[in-house]
Structure 1
Protein backbone atom coordinates (compact mmCIF):
# COMPACT_ATOMS: atom_id res chain seq x y z
CA UNK A 1 0.00 0.00 0.00
CA UNK A 2 2.78 2.42 -0.92
CA UNK A 3 6.46 2.63 -1.68
CA UNK A 4 7.52 2.91 1.99
CA UNK A 5 6.07 -0.56 2.64
CA UNK A 6 7.35 -2.02 -0.66
CA UNK A 7 3.74 -2.84 -1.43
CA UNK A 8 2.99 -1.62 -4.93
CA UNK A 9 1.49 -3.13 -8.07
CA UNK A 10 -1.79 -5.02 -8.18
CA UNK A 11 -3.93 -4.63 -5.04
CA UNK A 12 -4.11 -7.63 -2.73
CA UNK A 13 -7.22 -6.47 -0.87
CA UNK A 14 -9.96 -3.85 -0.96
CA UNK A 15 -8.65 -0.32 -1.41
CA UNK A 16 -8.81 1.41 1.98
CA UNK A 17 -6.90 3.97 4.02
CA UNK A 18 -6.67 5.24 7.60
CA UNK A 19 -5.84 8.73 6.30
CA UNK A 20 -8.04 11.62 7.41
CA UNK A 21 -7.62 14.97 5.66
CA UNK A 22 -9.46 18.06 6.89
CA UNK A 23 -7.80 21.07 5.30
CA UNK A 24 -7.09 24.04 7.58
CA UNK A 25 -8.00 21.84 10.55
CA UNK A 26 -6.08 18.58 10.97
CA UNK A 27 -4.79 15.59 9.07
CA UNK A 28 -3.68 12.05 9.85
CA UNK A 29 -1.35 10.70 7.16
CA UNK A 30 -0.27 7.06 7.65
CA UNK A 31 2.68 5.58 5.70
CA UNK A 32 0.32 3.48 3.58
CA UNK A 33 -0.46 5.36 0.41
CA UNK A 34 2.44 7.81 0.47
CA UNK A 35 3.93 8.58 -2.93
CA UNK A 36 7.35 9.83 -4.02
CA UNK A 37 7.92 13.46 -4.87
CA UNK A 38 10.80 14.74 -6.99
CA UNK A 39 12.64 17.58 -5.23
CA UNK A 40 15.47 19.25 -7.19
CA UNK A 41 18.85 18.81 -5.52
CA UNK A 42 18.12 15.47 -3.81
CA UNK A 43 19.92 12.60 -5.56
CA UNK A 44 19.26 8.91 -4.80
CA UNK A 45 16.59 9.92 -2.32
CA UNK A 46 12.91 8.99 -1.95
CA UNK A 47 10.93 11.95 -0.64
CA UNK A 48 7.34 12.44 0.44
CA UNK A 49 5.94 15.92 1.03
CA UNK A 50 3.60 15.92 4.02
CA UNK A 51 2.07 19.14 5.43
CA UNK A 52 2.22 22.22 3.19
CA UNK A 53 0.36 25.54 2.83
CA UNK A 54 -2.01 23.64 0.52
CA UNK A 55 -3.11 21.68 3.60
CA UNK A 56 -3.23 24.79 5.78
CA UNK A 57 0.25 24.76 7.34
CA UNK A 58 2.66 27.69 7.46
CA UNK A 59 5.52 25.19 7.05
CA UNK A 60 6.45 22.16 4.95
CA UNK A 61 7.32 18.73 6.39
CA UNK A 62 8.99 15.90 4.49
CA UNK A 63 10.01 12.29 5.02
CA UNK A 64 13.31 11.66 3.24
CA UNK A 65 14.71 8.18 2.65
CA UNK A 66 18.34 8.55 1.61
CA UNK A 67 19.42 5.49 -0.33
CA UNK A 68 23.03 4.40 -0.75
CA UNK A 69 24.90 7.34 -2.25
CA UNK A 70 22.02 9.69 -1.45
CA UNK A 71 22.92 13.34 -1.05
CA UNK A 72 22.00 16.97 -1.54
CA UNK A 73 24.98 18.96 -2.83
CA UNK A 74 22.83 21.82 -4.13
CA UNK A 75 21.79 22.96 -0.66
CA UNK A 76 18.32 23.10 0.85
CA UNK A 77 16.85 26.34 2.16
CA UNK A 78 17.95 29.87 1.43
CA UNK A 79 17.24 33.50 2.13
CA UNK A 80 14.46 33.95 4.68
CA UNK A 81 13.94 30.17 5.12
CA UNK A 82 14.83 28.21 8.26
CA UNK A 83 15.50 24.47 8.11
CA UNK A 84 15.41 21.63 10.64
CA UNK A 85 16.41 18.01 10.04
CA UNK A 86 16.13 15.04 12.42
CA UNK A 87 17.61 11.58 11.79
CA UNK A 88 15.00 8.89 12.44
CA UNK A 89 17.26 6.07 11.27
CA UNK A 90 20.75 5.87 9.82
CA UNK A 91 23.87 8.01 9.64
CA UNK A 92 24.34 11.15 7.58
CA UNK A 93 26.89 13.90 7.19
CA UNK A 94 25.13 17.25 7.38
CA UNK A 95 26.55 20.69 6.68
CA UNK A 96 25.29 24.17 7.50
CA UNK A 97 27.30 26.09 4.92
CA UNK A 98 30.88 25.65 6.21
CA UNK A 99 30.03 23.82 9.45
CA UNK A 100 29.95 20.00 9.30
CA UNK A 101 28.16 17.50 11.55
CA UNK A 102 27.93 13.70 11.73
CA UNK A 103 24.32 12.90 12.61
CA UNK A 104 23.35 9.41 13.71
CA UNK A 105 19.92 8.22 14.91
CA UNK A 106 18.46 11.00 17.06
CA UNK A 107 20.79 13.64 15.67
CA UNK A 108 19.45 16.97 14.48
CA UNK A 109 20.54 20.22 12.87
CA UNK A 110 18.86 23.63 12.70
CA UNK A 111 19.89 26.04 9.94
CA UNK A 112 18.81 29.68 10.38
CA UNK A 113 17.55 31.70 7.40
CA UNK A 114 20.19 32.24 4.75
CA UNK A 115 22.19 29.15 5.80
CA UNK A 116 21.73 26.19 3.46
CA UNK A 117 21.59 22.55 4.54
CA UNK A 118 23.71 19.96 2.72
CA UNK A 119 23.32 16.21 3.25
CA UNK A 120 25.21 13.03 2.41
CA UNK A 121 24.19 9.51 3.41
CA UNK A 122 26.93 7.57 5.21
CA UNK A 123 25.23 4.15 5.27
CA UNK A 124 22.93 1.88 3.27
CA UNK A 125 19.70 3.72 4.11
CA UNK A 126 18.91 6.73 6.28
CA UNK A 127 15.49 8.13 7.12
CA UNK A 128 15.03 11.82 7.91
CA UNK A 129 12.28 14.14 9.11
CA UNK A 130 12.81 17.45 7.30
CA UNK A 131 11.14 20.84 7.91
CA UNK A 132 11.23 24.29 6.37
CA UNK A 133 9.45 27.53 7.25
CA UNK A 134 9.72 31.22 6.46
CA UNK A 135 11.42 32.90 9.41
CA UNK A 136 9.75 35.82 11.20
CA UNK A 137 12.53 38.34 11.99
CA UNK A 138 12.66 40.17 15.31
CA UNK A 139 14.74 43.34 15.67
CA UNK A 140 17.83 42.84 17.81
CA UNK A 141 17.74 39.03 17.66
CA UNK A 142 19.41 36.61 15.25
CA UNK A 143 19.12 32.80 15.28
CA UNK A 144 22.16 30.58 14.83
CA UNK A 145 23.11 27.02 13.86
CA UNK A 146 22.20 24.39 16.48
CA UNK A 147 23.12 20.69 16.36
CA UNK A 148 22.93 17.93 18.95
CA UNK A 149 21.44 14.48 19.58
CA UNK A 150 18.19 13.80 21.41
CA UNK A 151 20.04 11.33 23.66
CA UNK A 152 21.93 14.30 25.12
CA UNK A 153 18.78 16.31 25.89
CA UNK A 154 17.20 16.22 29.36
CA UNK A 155 13.77 14.64 29.79
CA UNK A 156 11.52 17.03 31.68
CA UNK A 157 8.28 16.05 33.38
CA UNK A 158 5.54 17.50 31.20
CA UNK A 159 3.46 19.93 33.27
CA UNK A 160 4.39 18.02 36.43
CA UNK A 161 3.34 14.56 35.17
CA UNK A 162 6.00 11.92 35.84
CA UNK A 163 4.74 9.56 33.12
CA UNK A 164 4.96 12.16 30.33
CA UNK A 165 8.33 13.64 29.33
CA UNK A 166 9.22 16.49 26.98
CA UNK A 167 12.58 17.22 25.34
CA UNK A 168 13.30 20.65 23.86
CA UNK A 169 15.63 20.84 20.85
CA UNK A 170 16.31 24.57 20.44
CA UNK A 171 17.20 27.27 22.97
CA UNK A 172 14.25 29.12 24.46
CA UNK A 173 15.42 32.45 23.10
CA UNK A 174 13.53 35.17 21.23
CA UNK A 175 15.87 34.71 18.29
CA UNK A 176 14.07 31.44 17.50
CA UNK A 177 10.49 31.73 16.22
CA UNK A 178 9.91 27.97 16.39
CA UNK A 179 11.05 24.94 18.31
CA UNK A 180 11.05 21.17 18.04
CA UNK A 181 10.18 18.83 20.88
CA UNK A 182 9.74 15.14 21.57
CA UNK A 183 6.84 14.12 23.80
CA UNK A 184 6.96 10.62 25.30
CA UNK A 185 3.95 9.03 27.04
CA UNK A 186 4.34 5.87 29.07
CA UNK A 187 1.56 3.30 28.43
CA UNK A 188 -1.67 4.64 29.87
CA UNK A 189 -0.42 8.22 30.15
CA UNK A 190 -2.16 11.15 28.49
CA UNK A 191 -2.22 14.90 28.16
CA UNK A 192 -3.59 16.58 31.26
CA UNK A 193 -6.33 18.30 29.25
CA UNK A 194 -7.45 18.87 25.67
CA UNK A 195 -5.29 21.67 24.29
CA UNK A 196 -6.64 24.55 22.19
CA UNK A 197 -4.08 27.13 21.06
CA UNK A 198 -2.88 29.37 18.25
CA UNK A 199 0.27 27.32 17.60
CA UNK A 200 0.24 24.71 14.83
CA UNK A 201 2.08 21.40 14.83
CA UNK A 202 3.49 18.85 12.44
CA UNK A 203 4.12 15.60 14.35
CA UNK A 204 5.79 12.33 13.35
CA UNK A 205 5.24 9.28 15.58
CA UNK A 206 8.52 7.60 16.48
CA UNK A 207 7.12 4.74 18.58
CA UNK A 208 4.06 3.23 20.17
CA UNK A 209 0.32 3.46 19.66
CA UNK A 210 -2.35 5.76 20.96
CA UNK A 211 -5.69 7.46 20.60
CA UNK A 212 -5.47 11.07 19.48
CA UNK A 213 -8.32 13.56 19.72
CA UNK A 214 -8.34 16.05 16.86
CA UNK A 215 -11.23 18.52 16.75
CA UNK A 216 -13.22 16.12 18.96
CA UNK A 217 -12.60 13.15 16.63
CA UNK A 218 -10.84 10.27 18.42
CA UNK A 219 -8.45 8.62 15.97
CA UNK A 220 -6.12 5.63 16.49
CA UNK A 221 -2.48 6.44 15.71
CA UNK A 222 0.74 4.45 15.69
CA UNK A 223 4.44 4.54 14.82
CA UNK A 224 5.27 6.16 11.45
CA UNK A 225 1.99 8.09 11.28
CA UNK A 226 2.14 11.83 10.62
CA UNK A 227 -0.28 14.34 12.16
CA UNK A 228 -0.88 17.94 11.14
CA UNK A 229 -2.64 20.15 13.68
CA UNK A 230 -3.71 23.60 12.54
CA UNK A 231 -4.10 26.60 14.83
CA UNK A 232 -6.94 26.08 17.32
CA UNK A 233 -7.40 22.39 16.44
CA UNK A 234 -8.41 20.62 19.64
CA UNK A 235 -5.71 18.08 20.49
CA UNK A 236 -4.68 15.53 23.12
CA UNK A 237 -3.77 11.84 23.25
CA UNK A 238 -3.67 8.69 25.32
CA UNK A 239 -0.87 6.13 24.98
CA UNK A 240 -2.12 2.56 24.65
CA UNK A 241 -0.45 -0.83 24.32
CA UNK A 242 2.82 -2.01 25.88
CA UNK A 243 5.26 0.51 24.41
CA UNK A 244 5.68 4.21 25.12
CA UNK A 245 4.15 6.54 22.57
CA UNK A 246 6.67 9.11 21.36
CA UNK A 247 6.54 11.76 18.67
CA UNK A 248 8.63 14.64 17.39
CA UNK A 249 6.78 17.83 16.56
CA UNK A 250 7.29 21.47 15.60
CA UNK A 251 5.73 24.50 17.26
CA UNK A 252 5.79 28.18 16.29
CA UNK A 253 6.60 30.43 19.27
CA UNK A 254 8.04 33.71 20.59
CA UNK A 255 6.07 35.98 18.26
CA UNK A 256 2.94 38.10 18.54
CA UNK A 257 0.12 37.63 16.00
CA UNK A 258 0.43 39.86 12.95
CA UNK A 259 -2.62 41.79 11.75
Structure 2
Protein backbone atom coordinates (compact mmCIF):
# COMPACT_ATOMS: atom_id res chain seq x y z
CA UNK A 1 0.00 0.00 0.00
CA UNK A 2 2.86 2.35 0.76
CA UNK A 3 2.87 5.77 2.39
CA UNK A 4 -0.33 7.86 2.32
CA UNK A 5 -0.57 10.88 0.04
CA UNK A 6 -2.56 12.90 2.55
CA UNK A 7 -3.41 13.13 6.24
CA UNK A 8 -4.52 9.94 7.96
CA UNK A 9 -8.27 10.37 8.44
CA UNK A 10 -11.27 8.08 8.85
CA UNK A 11 -15.06 8.17 8.81
CA UNK A 12 -15.13 5.45 11.49
CA UNK A 13 -17.21 6.17 14.59
CA UNK A 14 -16.91 3.74 17.52
CA UNK A 15 -19.10 4.20 20.59
CA UNK A 16 -18.43 1.11 22.69
CA UNK A 17 -21.65 -0.43 23.94
CA UNK A 18 -23.74 1.95 21.83
CA UNK A 19 -23.05 1.90 18.08
CA UNK A 20 -20.30 1.80 15.49
CA UNK A 21 -19.77 2.77 11.87
CA UNK A 22 -16.86 1.04 10.17
CA UNK A 23 -15.94 2.12 6.62
CA UNK A 24 -14.14 -0.35 4.34
CA UNK A 25 -10.96 1.76 4.16
CA UNK A 26 -10.09 0.95 7.77
CA UNK A 27 -10.57 -2.81 7.70
CA UNK A 28 -7.65 -5.11 8.46
CA UNK A 29 -7.25 -8.83 7.83
CA UNK A 30 -7.36 -11.24 10.76
CA UNK A 31 -5.83 -14.71 10.98
CA UNK A 32 -8.73 -17.00 11.89
CA UNK A 33 -7.89 -20.69 12.42
CA UNK A 34 -9.61 -22.91 9.87
CA UNK A 35 -9.83 -20.31 7.10
CA UNK A 36 -7.38 -21.02 4.30
CA UNK A 37 -6.57 -18.57 1.48
CA UNK A 38 -9.07 -16.12 2.90
CA UNK A 39 -8.96 -12.47 3.95
CA UNK A 40 -11.17 -12.16 7.05
CA UNK A 41 -12.13 -8.89 8.73
CA UNK A 42 -14.01 -8.98 12.04
CA UNK A 43 -16.66 -6.27 11.80
CA UNK A 44 -18.42 -6.65 15.16
CA UNK A 45 -17.70 -8.68 18.29
CA UNK A 46 -18.32 -8.68 22.07
CA UNK A 47 -15.22 -6.49 22.45
CA UNK A 48 -17.32 -3.72 20.91
CA UNK A 49 -20.41 -4.57 22.92
CA UNK A 50 -22.17 -6.80 20.39
CA UNK A 51 -23.67 -10.13 21.42
CA UNK A 52 -22.62 -11.68 18.09
CA UNK A 53 -19.68 -11.73 15.69
CA UNK A 54 -19.94 -10.43 12.12
CA UNK A 55 -17.26 -10.98 9.48
CA UNK A 56 -16.42 -9.84 5.96
CA UNK A 57 -14.68 -12.69 4.15
CA UNK A 58 -12.90 -12.52 0.81
CA UNK A 59 -12.02 -16.02 -0.39
CA UNK A 60 -9.20 -16.29 -2.90
CA UNK A 61 -9.32 -18.98 -5.56
CA UNK A 62 -9.19 -22.28 -3.66
CA UNK A 63 -10.15 -20.59 -0.40
CA UNK A 64 -12.00 -22.74 2.12
CA UNK A 65 -12.86 -23.63 5.68
CA UNK A 66 -12.85 -27.39 5.98
CA UNK A 67 -12.51 -27.43 9.78
CA UNK A 68 -16.04 -26.11 10.20
CA UNK A 69 -17.46 -22.90 11.62
CA UNK A 70 -19.86 -22.75 14.56
CA UNK A 71 -21.29 -25.96 16.04
CA UNK A 72 -22.17 -26.82 19.66
CA UNK A 73 -24.45 -24.01 20.95
CA UNK A 74 -23.49 -21.61 18.12
CA UNK A 75 -25.72 -20.80 15.14
CA UNK A 76 -24.18 -19.44 11.94
CA UNK A 77 -25.19 -17.69 8.74
CA UNK A 78 -23.37 -17.04 5.46
CA UNK A 79 -24.43 -14.71 2.64
CA UNK A 80 -22.68 -14.75 -0.74
CA UNK A 81 -22.31 -11.24 -2.17
CA UNK A 82 -20.03 -12.09 -5.08
CA UNK A 83 -18.66 -15.22 -6.70
CA UNK A 84 -19.68 -18.83 -6.21
CA UNK A 85 -19.18 -20.98 -3.13
CA UNK A 86 -20.12 -24.35 -1.72
CA UNK A 87 -21.67 -24.12 1.75
CA UNK A 88 -22.37 -27.39 3.53
CA UNK A 89 -22.95 -29.30 6.73
CA UNK A 90 -22.41 -33.01 7.32
CA UNK A 91 -25.96 -33.68 6.06
CA UNK A 92 -26.67 -30.96 3.49
CA UNK A 93 -24.84 -28.89 0.90
CA UNK A 94 -25.65 -26.02 -1.41
CA UNK A 95 -23.98 -23.99 -4.13
CA UNK A 96 -24.41 -20.29 -3.39
CA UNK A 97 -23.99 -17.52 -5.93
CA UNK A 98 -24.70 -13.80 -5.52
CA UNK A 99 -27.69 -13.43 -3.21
CA UNK A 100 -27.47 -17.00 -1.91
CA UNK A 101 -27.33 -17.82 1.78
CA UNK A 102 -27.31 -20.65 4.33
CA UNK A 103 -28.30 -20.70 7.99
CA UNK A 104 -26.95 -23.48 10.23
CA UNK A 105 -28.56 -24.22 13.61
CA UNK A 106 -26.57 -24.98 16.78
CA UNK A 107 -24.88 -28.34 16.63
CA UNK A 108 -24.33 -28.11 12.86
CA UNK A 109 -20.93 -26.94 11.69
CA UNK A 110 -20.80 -24.82 8.55
CA UNK A 111 -18.15 -25.60 5.93
CA UNK A 112 -17.19 -23.28 3.08
CA UNK A 113 -15.32 -23.64 -0.21
CA UNK A 114 -14.73 -21.19 -3.06
CA UNK A 115 -15.84 -22.67 -6.38
CA UNK A 116 -15.09 -19.57 -8.48
CA UNK A 117 -12.01 -18.99 -10.60
CA UNK A 118 -11.59 -15.66 -8.84
CA UNK A 119 -12.50 -14.10 -5.51
CA UNK A 120 -15.72 -14.78 -3.61
CA UNK A 121 -17.04 -12.19 -1.16
CA UNK A 122 -19.09 -13.26 1.86
CA UNK A 123 -20.83 -11.92 4.93
CA UNK A 124 -20.45 -14.39 7.81
CA UNK A 125 -22.19 -14.35 11.19
CA UNK A 126 -22.31 -16.33 14.42
CA UNK A 127 -24.07 -16.02 17.78
CA UNK A 128 -25.04 -18.16 20.76
CA UNK A 129 -28.42 -19.78 20.28
CA UNK A 130 -31.03 -19.16 22.97
CA UNK A 131 -32.93 -22.44 23.27
CA UNK A 132 -36.70 -22.62 23.66
CA UNK A 133 -38.42 -25.75 24.97
CA UNK A 134 -40.16 -27.84 22.35
CA UNK A 135 -38.65 -26.26 19.23
CA UNK A 136 -35.45 -26.63 17.23
CA UNK A 137 -34.30 -24.57 14.20
CA UNK A 138 -33.20 -26.25 10.98
CA UNK A 139 -30.83 -25.63 8.07
CA UNK A 140 -32.18 -22.95 5.73
CA UNK A 141 -30.91 -22.35 2.20
CA UNK A 142 -32.21 -19.66 -0.14
CA UNK A 143 -31.48 -16.80 -2.51
CA UNK A 144 -32.82 -13.27 -2.12
CA UNK A 145 -33.42 -13.07 -5.87
CA UNK A 146 -36.12 -15.72 -5.46
CA UNK A 147 -37.93 -14.00 -2.54
CA UNK A 148 -40.63 -11.38 -3.09
CA UNK A 149 -40.11 -8.03 -1.43
CA UNK A 150 -42.72 -6.72 1.01
CA UNK A 151 -43.72 -3.12 1.48
CA UNK A 152 -42.26 -1.90 4.75
CA UNK A 153 -44.68 -0.29 7.21
CA UNK A 154 -47.13 0.78 4.44
CA UNK A 155 -44.48 2.84 2.62
CA UNK A 156 -44.36 2.15 -1.12
CA UNK A 157 -40.77 3.36 -1.50
CA UNK A 158 -39.30 1.09 1.20
CA UNK A 159 -39.11 -2.70 0.79
CA UNK A 160 -38.02 -5.55 3.05
CA UNK A 161 -37.08 -9.21 2.52
CA UNK A 162 -37.07 -11.81 5.33
CA UNK A 163 -34.37 -14.42 4.81
CA UNK A 164 -35.27 -16.81 7.64
CA UNK A 165 -38.63 -18.27 8.72
CA UNK A 166 -40.74 -16.27 11.16
CA UNK A 167 -40.93 -19.29 13.44
CA UNK A 168 -40.38 -19.41 17.21
CA UNK A 169 -37.65 -21.99 16.68
CA UNK A 170 -35.45 -19.16 15.37
CA UNK A 171 -34.10 -16.60 17.84
CA UNK A 172 -32.72 -14.41 15.03
CA UNK A 173 -33.48 -13.31 11.51
CA UNK A 174 -31.71 -11.66 8.62
CA UNK A 175 -33.44 -9.02 6.52
CA UNK A 176 -32.64 -6.89 3.49
CA UNK A 177 -34.07 -3.38 3.67
CA UNK A 178 -34.11 -1.18 0.55
CA UNK A 179 -34.99 2.52 0.39
CA UNK A 180 -35.69 4.37 -2.84
CA UNK A 181 -34.03 7.82 -2.95
CA UNK A 182 -35.74 10.05 -0.36
CA UNK A 183 -37.15 6.99 1.44
CA UNK A 184 -36.83 6.80 5.20
CA UNK A 185 -37.94 5.00 8.32
CA UNK A 186 -41.45 6.02 9.40
CA UNK A 187 -40.18 6.99 12.88
CA UNK A 188 -37.05 6.95 15.03
CA UNK A 189 -36.84 3.41 16.42
CA UNK A 190 -35.77 2.71 20.00
CA UNK A 191 -35.84 -0.98 20.91
CA UNK A 192 -34.18 -3.82 22.79
CA UNK A 193 -32.98 -5.57 19.61
CA UNK A 194 -29.48 -4.99 18.28
CA UNK A 195 -28.44 -5.11 14.63
CA UNK A 196 -25.40 -5.58 12.47
CA UNK A 197 -25.83 -4.08 8.98
CA UNK A 198 -23.68 -4.18 5.85
CA UNK A 199 -24.53 -1.61 3.17
CA UNK A 200 -24.81 -3.07 -0.32
CA UNK A 201 -25.55 0.13 -2.22
CA UNK A 202 -26.42 3.80 -2.04
CA UNK A 203 -25.90 6.54 0.50
CA UNK A 204 -27.82 7.72 3.52
CA UNK A 205 -27.93 9.88 6.61
CA UNK A 206 -28.27 7.63 9.66
CA UNK A 207 -29.62 8.88 12.97
CA UNK A 208 -27.73 7.08 15.72
CA UNK A 209 -27.91 8.00 19.39
CA UNK A 210 -29.08 11.56 18.59
CA UNK A 211 -26.52 12.23 15.86
CA UNK A 212 -26.91 12.35 12.07
CA UNK A 213 -24.02 10.54 10.36
CA UNK A 214 -23.41 9.98 6.62
CA UNK A 215 -23.08 6.36 5.47
CA UNK A 216 -22.56 4.71 2.10
CA UNK A 217 -21.98 1.46 0.21
CA UNK A 218 -19.41 -0.78 1.89
CA UNK A 219 -19.96 0.61 5.39
CA UNK A 220 -20.79 -1.63 8.33
CA UNK A 221 -23.02 -0.42 11.17
CA UNK A 222 -23.52 -1.99 14.58
CA UNK A 223 -26.58 -0.82 16.52
CA UNK A 224 -26.60 -1.56 20.23
CA UNK A 225 -29.81 -2.17 22.22
CA UNK A 226 -31.99 0.90 22.82
CA UNK A 227 -29.95 3.16 20.52
CA UNK A 228 -32.34 5.57 18.73
CA UNK A 229 -32.03 4.87 14.99
CA UNK A 230 -33.48 5.88 11.62
CA UNK A 231 -32.23 6.67 8.11
CA UNK A 232 -32.95 8.88 5.12
CA UNK A 233 -31.77 7.59 1.74
CA UNK A 234 -29.92 10.31 -0.17
CA UNK A 235 -28.28 10.50 -3.59
CA UNK A 236 -29.34 8.86 -6.84
CA UNK A 237 -29.14 5.16 -5.96
CA UNK A 238 -31.26 2.96 -3.76
CA UNK A 239 -29.93 2.49 -0.25
CA UNK A 240 -29.91 -1.22 0.52
CA UNK A 241 -28.43 -3.27 3.34
CA UNK A 242 -28.57 -6.69 4.98
CA UNK A 243 -29.01 -6.69 8.73
CA UNK A 244 -29.27 -9.12 11.62
CA UNK A 245 -31.94 -9.01 14.31
CA UNK A 246 -32.48 -10.96 17.53
CA UNK A 247 -36.15 -11.96 17.90
CA UNK A 248 -38.71 -14.38 19.36
CA UNK A 249 -37.33 -14.40 22.89
CA UNK A 250 -38.19 -12.65 26.16
CA UNK A 251 -35.71 -10.34 27.89
CA UNK A 252 -33.65 -12.17 30.52
CA UNK A 253 -33.44 -11.10 34.17
Same fold (TM over 0.5): yes
1:198-233 Cα shifts (integer Å, max 9, x gaps): 000000000001100100110100001000000001
SS in 2 for 1:213: strand
Any gaps of 5 or more consecutive residues in structure 1? 1-7
1:189-200 correspondence to structure 2 within 5 Å: 189-200=183-194
Give the match for residue 105 of structure 1.
Answer: 98
Give the match for residue 122 of structure 2.
Answer: 128
Q: Decide which moves more: 135-144 or 95-104.
A: 95-104
1:142-199 Cα shifts (integer Å, max 9, x gaps): 0000000001111000011010000000100000000000000000100000000000
Give the match for residue 258 of structure 1.
Answer: 252
TM-score, normalised relative to structure 1: 0.96
CA distance in 1, matches of 2:89, 2:175: 21
> Over aligned residues, Cα RMSD in angstroms?
0.6
Q: Does 1:249 align with 2:249?
A: no
Give the match for residue 161 of structure 1.
Answer: 155
Q: Does 1:27 align with 2:20?
A: yes
The ranges of structure 1 where at least 4 consecutive aligned residues each deviate by more than 4 angstroms after the TM superposition are: none
Any gaps of 5 or more consecutive residues in structure 2? none
Give the match for residue 42 of structure 2.
Answer: 49
1:61-210 correspondence to structure 2 within 5 Å: 61-123=54-116, 124-210=118-204
SS in 2 for 1:151: helix
Q: CA deviation at 1:88?
A: 1.0
Aligned match for 1:214, one of 208, 211, 228: 208
The count of corresponding residues between Structure 1 and Structure 2 is 252
Aligned match for 1:58, one of 51, 55, 59: 51
1:85-137 Cα shifts (integer Å, max 9, x gaps): 00111110110222110000000000000101111101110100000000000
1:45-65 Cα shifts (integer Å, max 9, x gaps): 000001101101000000000
CA distance in 2, matches of 1:166, 1:62: 22
Q: Does 1:17 align with 2:17?
A: no
Aligned match for 2:225, one of 216, 227, 231: 231
TM-score, normalised relative to structure 2: 0.99
SS in 1 for 2:24: coil
